[in-house]
Structure formats: structure tokens, C-alpha cells
Amino acid sequence: MASMNIIGTSVKRTEDYRFLTGGGQYTDDVAPHHATYAVFVRSPHAHAKIKGIKTDKAAKARGVHAVYTGDDIAKAGINGLPCGWLITDVNGQPMKEPPYPVLAQGKVRHVGERVAVVIADTLHEARDAAELVEVDYEVLPAVVNGAEARKKGAPVLHEIAPDNTCYVWAIGDKAKVDDVFKSAAHTTKLEFVNNRLIPNAIEPRAAIGNYSRAEDAYTLHVASQNPHVERLLMTAFVMGLPEHKVHVIAPDVGGGFGSKIYLYGEDVVVTWASKQINRPVKWTADRVESFSSDAHGRDHVTTAELALDKDGKFLAMRVHTTANVGAYLSTFASCVPTILYATLLAGQYTTPVIYCEVTAVFTNTTPVDAYRGAGRPEATYVVERLVETAAREMKIDPAEIRRRNFIKEFPYQTPVALLYDTGNYNATLDAATKLGDVAGYAKRKEQSKARGKLRGIGYSCYIEACGIAPSSVAGSLGARAGLYEAGEVRVHPTGKVTVFTGSHSHGQGHETTFAQVVASRLGIPMDDVHIVHGDTSKILFGMGTYGSRSIAVGGTAIVKAVDKVIAKGKKIAAHLMEAAENDVEFSDGIFRVTGTDKQVPFGQVALTAYVPHNYPHDKLEPGLNENAFYDPSNFTFPAGSYVCEVEVDPDTGKTSIESFVAVDDFGKIINPMIVEGQVQGGLTQGIGQALMEGCRYDSASGQLLTGTLTDYCLPRAEDVPHFKIDTRETPCTHNPLGVKGCGEAGAIGAPAALMNAITDAIGVRDLAMPATAETVWRAIAMKKAA
Amino acid sequence: MPVKVSMTVNGKPVSAEVEERTLLVNFIREHLRLTGTHVGCDTAQCGACTIEMNGDAVKACNMLAMQAEGAKITTIEGIAAADGTLHPMQEAFREHHALQCGFCTPGMVISAIDLVRRHPNPSEEVVRAELDGNFCRCTGYHNIVKAILDAAPKVAAMR
Ligand code: FES
Ligand code: FES
């Protein structure tokens, strides 16, 4: 029999047929019988006291079933939304955790905050009635900028944080770092903003609560990246509902990028309200709502310094960051600018000492949480902009300065807590410089010059930490959840297999990749394997998908369950072949007795397990169904090198990306086609951050200025180049597949490469993202003037 | 005031009483329950709602159902052959991994077919420029562009 090993092959995706023919089932496509529609009344002010809410007109409007405000939620005993990670500050004190109400209680703290909900028979009726809700606001001064919010006299958002500070947290040896800086041959200092981004998954968030009196149970359809966590938070912390009576289904989900990880107030409201009115309650965000109510990303202001010796060896790094967390702490907001950021500041380098201090600040803006990369893009930006700038200042080739400082021996303990298990940074950088024909760059620059254009080249050698783990370490750092994953492999009597995974696919292609893994391991055709995700009543448990953890953690849980199936199968096969269990081996879907021609196929073993006539009943239960939980012993550490070449038109400031090369080391790759797709998508979001995306608030009023797709610039097809992508493979050492994860790399590595290229092209030291044509043009003009 | 609308959708005549302000996209999704046509924005920019109307790709969120009175409409559900065989453009999307979450995909496919109708032999530049009415947040467009370039001759040959 031919080998069924299809790991490493670009199998076409199983899920595509339904998506291509309109057969996807996204939350808004679900239409429960008798559904009602919810519309949220949202705050038009960034900061205001609610003096009163009049709902009577709305309540009497046509088709309206109910209007609820924060008072109703409070009366119902519903708690605020919890934060999943406790950060302990530099003084050993817990971070400030102000209540995050499901519907505003007495005060609103950002534009778009939920104030009331109107539920009616049709969406039109609910919208009309929402207009009739009268909220009496006393507008307060607002603050939207993190640094401003820390100043004396700034408007105070929460009583428990009179200085608007959530925490001041630090990592590393400050005294040692300060010492090194005093005597270093060269130091480089940069101050920059990591611009706030609005995720904009193309499917808006949506939720449908459906309470059944007959069963005294709830069903929640929701566009979520992790249905089990959503259920756990909602039942155990917010609503006090019995967990086993709440069924959460996250069907097809149209992209997430982090924004659909969190438990949102809308999900709680529709679930609760469906019992109050005894009808399903459906809510789908419109895009304008998404802009002000989906968790945002990034928003750091940083001062970063690098100390070097005379040969360009890195001696120390010192970083101070103010992280704007928005008006409330979203589900994982607190760990993003700390655990997922500062720990990555070693990058790919041997910098011996690093100190980083992070001040997290509340402002009158939408809460900020993990967005594709989550902390790691911010860290990479700091490291790679510093390194490139230092190289320019010291007149060392930017690739060469990196090579001089690469970590070459593994495992490597960084000074900021992480233990890199493996890597080969020269390999990716060598490949990227070849693929990008860096050797021919000087000539291309001349050609650009002849055309009146400014050409620049920029590198970015990023590292990321994926599959955040292990639970015990995360717990000691403040995580309030485990970080394992669950999987179940159900072999049916005919030898077909259904796999249940706690990971969630919202574009990543798990139905294909995971099936490749299982089919290869069991030696059966991929068509015989079906992957199920996103449903709490089918899947035993799950931590969901974020942090590029699906294959490394979720995939490994499945592998462990498959191995248990094989182990049990060997016992059954040994019985059938009258052999000792130890003499039975399994490969390519066949159990064999070593050294003989005795064999039974997998399908026969499966059938025997369910029709156990000839069966070792004294030793074994019938059936062939196994589950496994996998708690990794470490993060995985994908890394790569990006080289970007741009051409800037000095007259208009417009940047065109002439070449973008990405060479990533994701360890073993299951499906190269899917991995490339993830890189392309990530790069495009990174390019978006560098060139065009930037959330803006009016500093006086706190109004969201980029609140629609006409004001917030998402990358279009003509904004991105044809990418040149390749991979190198250094397998992860601590999971059986040798995989690392690939979902966020592009978004992590791309911004620094681009900004390094643009600053090189126009000859300035630094430039703010997004580097729009106007920003670049002004920088050129200022340089000329100077 | 409810009004009666009638049109042909995916080859079948349909009619219904709708509120005057009902958008065509809501008529298609809610009344006809053809949920392959998606809604991704409220400013007629994302293109997730793109359908074919009287031979042209249009954004169904940007017009009232009433305005489609008597029109001949094809939604994504009507693009593949009756036996389920994918249209060459759909097949090219699958072949080139031009979709991830699938949410933009129905609109992308219909826009892509329309693009090839207008530009039977498009260059990469033309494809990229012509896609300006369709956002995809997942793929980075790379593979969408590849798929369209690959499918173009096959789709053009169908006409
Ligand atoms: S929904 Fe029609 S363009 Fe976005
Ligand atoms: S595939 Fe997700 S938006 Fe295009």
C-alpha cells in the first residue's frame, strides 16, 4: 500500500467548496425561528455622566419587546466582564481592575460604549426605536492619549485609578542595564509610536442568544475564536449560569485576527435577554459599530535605547513603553504589552542585559487587546528599528550587524525570561538576501535615481513566541486560564474518523491541515477524516485559536489522541493475530506482527472494537475513541528575515513597494500552500500598519475620527506587491510534529522592514507610522528645509 | 408601506412584499434565505455583497430591493453548474488558495468574473486596480490575483 503521508504537501482545502458556493454558515446566516433583533444604543461621547435614560417612548414603539439599560443588568445580578490575566506591578501590587460593565453604569468612558439595548421583531423596528431612547448626558472632559492621561489634572476615568494608571510593570535588571549604558562605545536612542489599529475582520461580530424554556438551556451562536472560553467566562464569572446549560456555537467565522477572542457585552446581553423575552435575540454589528466596539490593537509610545561596543556588538537594551489600554480592560489586554511584548525584546540577538518598563494607562478610547501578533509586532518594531538605526549610525552593513549578534547556540536563555529551544537565524537571513538579490541592490538604486526616485532597502529579523505555555508558568505570571488544548479522535466502526478540536478555524484551514496530520498518522485517506471545531456541545473543551497556537498546541493534542488510538489498536490487533502486543507494529494503516506476514488493516481493528465478538474483553473495553489534553512545555519560536525594497516619489511622497521578501522558519510545515497564505495575509496587515492604517481620535472631544471604512484605510489589492516567500525548517524540539506556528509572523515582521526601507530611501532617522504619502512628503520637505 | 417586488434570482422568478426601505442585500439574505451574499460594511466599500444584476457586478447593499424590480440576478449560489461543478473562477480560487475565512469570497468571485468579462486578458496591474471595490482582510490578495489571472482565459472562453 502506498504511503499515506501527506504531511508537507499542498493539499487543496476541504472547506473551500462551501465557501465558494455560498454554503458557509456564519453567525448572521443562522436564522432561528421567531428571532427578534437587538440594536444597541451607544455613547456618542468619549466621557460623560449618565444623568438619566428615558426608555418609555422606545418601549412603546411598534414591534418592540424590551428596552434594557445598565440598571436592568445590575438588577439581574450580572457582573462586569473579567480580565483573564492579572499583572502584578513593580511594587508587588495587583493591577487596577475597574469594573467593565456589560451596559454602562452611570458613566460612559468611550465613544461607542454600550448604553442600552432595544429588542424588536424586525431590525428596522429595533433601529427606529433605538432612536427614541433618550439619554441625558453630562459631558466630561476626555483624554485619549496615554501620556496625557498620566499627567496631573487629566480627566480621571475610574475612581480606583486616580492617575489613570492600570499598572507599572517591569522586567530585567535595571541597575545592570544602566551601568552598561554609562560606559558603552555607542548608544542609539529612538522614540516612536506603534500606531493604534482597528482589526476589521470582514465579517462583523454577531451573536444570537436563544433560551429554551422547555430545556431550561441556552444556545449562543457567536462569531468567536474560542467558544469554550467564551462560555466559561460568561457562565462562571459574568452571569452565574450553569455551564452545562449553555451551548456556544461559533460556526464559520469570517476572520478574527484577535478581535473575536474576547467576551463582549453584546454576547452577554443577547443571551440574557433571550430568556427575559423568551425569544431568540439576534445582533449583528454594522461596520460603524465594529470600529468603535471591537477591541483595537497596539497603541504604544516607546523610548528605546541600544548600547553597543565599538564593533557593533549589542551590550544592553533599555525600553520604556506607555501602553494605552483604552477605557476598560478587555479579556487579555493586560498581558499583551507585558508578557507578550517585553519578553520578546531579545529578538534574534545575544543582547546580554535588557530592561523594559511598561506603564499601562486608561484613556477614553475603545479597549485595546490582542490584534494579530499581539505585543510581538511592537517588540519587533522596537528591536529592528533600533538595530537598523544603530547600524546606519555606526556605518556597519545592517545585515552584517545582525549576523554579528545572532544567537547561534541553542537552547538559549534570554535575559527576558524566554528559553529559545532552537533556531537558525543565519539560514533565513542568507536565504532572504539571496531571494531579494541584495547583491544587485546598488544597481537598482542607481536606476531608480535615474528615474528621479528614491530607493531604500530595509531588513527585519523577527522572532515570535507562539503557543503561549506552559499553563503552570503562565499561571505564575498571572494567567487566570490554562493554556493547553484538547482533542478527541473518534474512530467509527467503518474506520472513518471524526476529530474534535478545541482550536478554532476562522480562515486558517484546520479542516484541511488537521486532517492531513491525522490521515498521515493513521495511514488512511484524508477523505476518511472529518474535523469538527467551534461547538461546545460536540467538543470536550478548548482554549481556542490565537497566538498562532493551533497546530503547535491543538495539533499536538490531536496527535496524542491519535497515538492513544494506535496504542489501543495494537492491543486489539495483537489479539486478532494471536501475537504479543509488543510484537505488533503500525504503519501506513496496517498493524503487522514484526518479522511475519501477519497483518490486519486499521479498518478491521476499528470494526472489531465496535463488533467485539473476538475481543480481549478481560483486558480492554470495546470502542475506539480517545481524547487528549496537551499542555506544552514551552513556547515555540518561529523566526524569519524580511527584506523590503521601496521606491519613494520625492514629489508626492508616495511609497511603492518594489520587492518584499519573507523567509520564515516555522519548523515543520504541514501544508505549504496554507502556510504561504497565512504569511501573505500577515504581511499585508503589517504593510497596512506601516503605510496606511492608523486609528485617530480627536484629542479634545475624544471622537473617533477613523470610524468608517472611508476614514480608516485598509489595504486594497493594488497597495500590496507580489510577495516573494520561502521557508527554512528548524523543527521545534518539544512537540511531536516539530511545528511552530505561522499565523502572525507577517504582521510581526513587516512593519519594521518597511519603515527601515522608507527611512533609508529618504534619508531620515525616523518616521511615524503610517507612512502615508503626506507623512513621507513632509519628512522630505523638512529635510530639504533643514 | 410594504411594496411588492418581483425579480428573477438564479433563474427562478421570486416575488415578495417588503418594506420600502429594504435593501436588496437584505431581500436576498432574509427573504430568499440566500445567505452566500454577505454584508461586511455600511458604506458600500467592502464588496462582500457583490451580486450580478442584468449582467453587471453590483453591490447589493447599495440599492433598494425595489430598484431591482424585474431584474435578472445571479448570486454566488447560482454561479456553479446545476450539478455542483464549480465555475472556472471558483475552481481557480480553490486551486490557488485564494480564500481563507471565505467571507469576502462570494463577492470576490462575482467581481472577478465581471472583471474578466470587461478585461478578457488582464494584466496583474489591471486585476489589482479593478479589485478596488473588494476588501479581503485574510489573503493579502496575492492568491486572489493569481487565481484571476489563471482563470481569465478559461472564463473568457466560456462567453
Ligand atoms: S456590504 Fe456592500 S459593499 Fe460592504
Ligand atoms: S478570505 Fe477572509 S476576508 Fe477574504
- Find out whether A315 and A180 touch, Cβ atoms under 8 Å: yes
Question: Is residue B81 one of the residues assigned to a domain?
Answer: no
3-state secondary structure of A527: helix
CATH number for position B142: 1.10.150.120
CB atoms within 10 A of CB A90: 14
Chain B residue with Cα closest to A722: B142
Cell numbers of B118, please?
470587461
CATH number for position B16: 3.10.20.30
* Shared domain check, B60 and B9: yes
Instruction: Quote the pTM value.
Output: 0.97
- DSSP-derived pairing of the beta strands A485-491 and A36-42: unpaired
Grid coordinates 442568544 are at which residue? A209
Of B77, B79, B132, the CB nearest to A716: B132
* Shared domain check, B69 and B33: yes
* Shared domain check, B50 and B12: yes
* Shared domain check, B7 and B70: yes
Mean pLDDT for B53-76 is 97
CA of B52 to the centre of ligand 1 (A): 14
**Cis peptide, bond prior to residue A770, ω within 30 of zero:** yes
* Shared domain check, B10 and B69: yes
- Find out whether A172 and A748 touch, Cβ atoms under 8 Å: no
Our count of domains for chain B comes to 2
Average pLDDT over chain A reads: 96
Question: What domains are there in chain A, each with its CATH number?
Answer: 16-22+484-630 (3.30.365.10), 31-140+202-255+260-293 (3.90.1170.50), 300-469+634-785 (3.30.365.10)
Question: Is residue B101 one of the residues assigned to a domain?
Answer: yes
- DSSP-derived pairing of the beta strands A724-728 and A655-665: parallel
Least Cα distance to B138 among B105, B100, B106, B103 occurs for: B100
Question: Is residue B21 one of the residues assigned to a domain?
Answer: yes
Q: What is the pLDDT of residues A20-69, one digit of tens each?
A: 999 999 999 999 999 999 999 999 999 999 999 999 999 999 999 999 99
Cell numbers of A260, please?
473575536
Distance from the first to the final alpha carbon of chain A = 74
- For residue A3, the model assigns a pLDDT of 58
For B68, the domain range is 3-76
* Shared domain check, B105 and B68: no
Tell me how long chain A is: 786
- For residue A90, the model assigns a pLDDT of 96
Question: Is residue B31 one of the residues assigned to a domain?
Answer: yes
Going from the C-alpha of A79 to that of each of A190, A321, A345, A349, the distances in angstroms are 43, 32, 37, 45
A-facing residues of B in 98-137 (CB < 8 A) are: 99-106, 109, 124-125, 127-129, 131-132, 134-137
Question: For residue A695, how many C-alpha atoms fall within 13 Å in the half-sphere facing its CB?
Answer: 30
Domain boundary among B35, B55, B76: B76
* Shared domain check, B144 and B100: yes
Task: Name the strand (E) or helix (H) holding A66.
Answer: strand A64-69
Chain A residue with Cα closest to B98: A677
With a CB cutoff of 8 Å and minimum separation 6, the contacts of A463 are A344, A346, A347, A348, A380, A420, A423, A637, A638, A639
Question: Is residue B83 one of the residues assigned to a domain?
Answer: no
Distance CA A443, CA A440 (A): 6
DSSP A244: G
pLDDT confidence bin for B109, thresholds 50/70/90? very high
Task: Report ipTM for this prediction.
Answer: 0.98
DSSP B10: T
Cell numbers of A310, please?
565599538
Which residues of chain B make contact with A291, given a CB cutoff of 8 A?
none
Q: What is the interface size between A and B, counted as CB pairs within 8 Å?
A: 182
CB atoms within 10 A of CB A724: 15
Grid coordinates 497564505 are at which residue? A677
Domain boundary among B34, B55, B76: B76
Cβ contact B139–A677 (<8 Å): yes
- For residue A492, the model assigns a pLDDT of 98
* Shared domain check, B95 and B71: no
* Shared domain check, B24 and B47: yes
Cell numbers of A612, please?
467485539
CA of A681 to the centre of ligand 2 (A): 9
- Find out whether A332 and A478 touch, Cβ atoms under 8 Å: no
Tell me how long chain B is: 159
Distance CA A523, CA A269 (A): 47
* Shared domain check, B107 and B145: yes
Question: Is residue B122 one of the residues assigned to a domain?
Answer: yes
What is the per-residue DSSP string for B47-68?
-TTEEEETTEEEEGGGSBGGGG
Mean pLDDT for B58-82 is 97
Cell numbers of A579, please?
501475537
Q: What is the pLDDT of residues A338-394, one digit of tens each?
A: 999 999 999 999 999 999 999 999 999 999 999 999 999 999 999 999 999 999 999
Question: Is residue B82 one of the residues assigned to a domain?
Answer: no
- For residue A474, the model assigns a pLDDT of 84
Cell numbers of A281, please?
435575540
Least Cα distance to A372 among A712, A641, A747 occurs for: A747
**Cis peptide, bond prior to residue A227, ω within 30 of zero:** no
- DSSP-derived pairing of the beta strands A36-42 and A281-284: parallel
* Shared domain check, B92 and B71: no
Distance CA A449, CA A453 (A): 5
Selected residue of A10, A27, A125, A202 to mutate for chain B interface (largest B Cβ count, 10 A) = A202
Grid coordinates 542568507 are at which residue? A430
Distance CA A773, CA A779 (A): 10
Question: Distance (Å) from the C-alpha of residue A289 to the closest C-alpha of chain B?
Answer: 10
With a CB cutoff of 8 Å and minimum separation 6, the contacts of B85 are none
Distance CA A246, CA A248 (A): 6
Extract the residue ranges of chain A whose pLDDT is less than 50.
1-2
* Shared domain check, B134 and B92: yes
CB atoms within 10 A of CB A170: 18
Distance CA A154, CA A163 (A): 8
**HEC profile of A100-158:** CCCCCCCEECCCCCEEEEEEECCHHHHHHHHCCCEEEEEECCCCCCHHHHHCCCCCCCC
Question: For residue A115, how many C-alpha atoms fall within 13 Å in the half-sphere facing its CB?
Answer: 29
Q: Is A728 exposed, middle or buried (0-12, 13-18, 19+ CB in 10 A)?
A: buried
CB atoms within 10 A of CB A177: 23
Question: Distance (Å) from the C-alpha of residue B70 to the closest C-alpha of chain A?
Answer: 23
Q: What is the pLDDT of residues B77-98, one digit of tens each?
A: 999 999 999 999 999 999 999 9
- Find out whether A720 and B141 touch, Cβ atoms under 8 Å: yes
Question: For residue B4, how many C-alpha atoms fall within 13 Å in the half-sphere facing its CB?
Answer: 3
**Residue A704 φ/ψ, nearest 5 degrees:** -80, 115
Question: Is residue B106 one of the residues assigned to a domain?
Answer: yes
